[in-house]
A and B are shown apart, each in its own frame.
Chain A
Amino acid sequence: AQSVSQHNHHVILSEAASLELGCNYSYGGTVNLFWYVQYPGQHLQLLLKYFSGDPLVKGIKGFEAEFIKSKFSFNLRKPSVQWSDTAEYFCAVKSSYKLIFGSGTRLLVRP
């Protein structure tokens, strides 16, 4: 069965620091990959997605992710975080019709 691993459960950064959240998946075939974000008190929102083509995907709010097939990875990056990026981030892979989610990473950005 497919699985998704997010290695960092909690990350604390200061504003303007760079961010990279790890995500690895287990499936070896064609994959559709997603990053979702859940801000405090808000519902899950799509941050970005990869289906095919350019492995570097740009999303909302300055986030980007790079699909590296050889490493089964889809890491999320942002060059300079803001306090408003404090949230929980979920990586997900589409398996058939459903999404398999990672365990999530809680990001706290200190002002």
Chain B
Amino acid sequence: SAVISQKPSRDICQRGTSLTIQCQVDSQVTMMFWYRQQPGQSLTLIATANQGSEATYESGFVIDKFPISRPNLTFSTLTVSNMSPEDSSIYLCSVAAGTGIAETQYFGPGTRLLVL
């Protein structure tokens, strides 16, 4: 398994501003993932971040809105840009541990974001 921490744990932001969320893992991992969990809904993958390459975004998510950095094998950031109330969600960092078919994803505690 992996121990994942996120900062901040929660924030209240004004519309039009941006917030950068940090994700730190206690071990080196190749793949890191960013998910969004909107109120009362399930988790949706935003993008996959591999060290040394551009993040891969899922349908409906774009780099201009959710820029991601992955400077090394233990750290990543997700920025929520030009926020609107619709961006109010929990944002979760996840990492893949294990190899091959035994690969399992573990999740951080999440960042609870409220946009006013």
Contact = CB atoms under 8 A, between A and B. Distances in A.
Interface of A: 32, 34, 36, 42-46, 49, 51-52, 90, 94, 97-99, 101-104
A52 B100 CA distance: 12
Interface residues of B, number: 23
Interface of B: 1, 31, 33, 41-45, 48, 58, 92, 94, 96, 101-110
A51 B42 contact: no
A44 B45 contact: no
Contact of A101 (B31, B43, B96, B101): B43
A103 B41 CA distance: 6
A37 B48 CA distance: 22
B3 to A, nearest CB: 11
Q: Which 10 A-B pairs have the closest CB atoms?
A: A43-B109, A44-B107, A101-B42, A101-B43, A103-B42, A51-B101, A98-B45, A104-B42, A99-B105, A43-B107
B42 A90 contact: yes
26 contacts: A32-B101, A36-B107, A43-B108, A43-B109, A43-B110, A44-B92, A44-B107, A45-B107, A46-B1, A46-B106, A49-B104, A51-B101, A90-B42, A97-B31, A97-B48, A97-B96, A98-B33, A98-B45, A98-B48, A98-B58, A99-B45, A101-B43, A101-B44, A102-B42, A103-B41, A104-B42
Contacts of B105: 34, 99
A34 B58 CA distance: 21
B11 to A, nearest CB: 17
Interface centre among A45, A90, A98, A101 (most CB of B within 10 A): A98
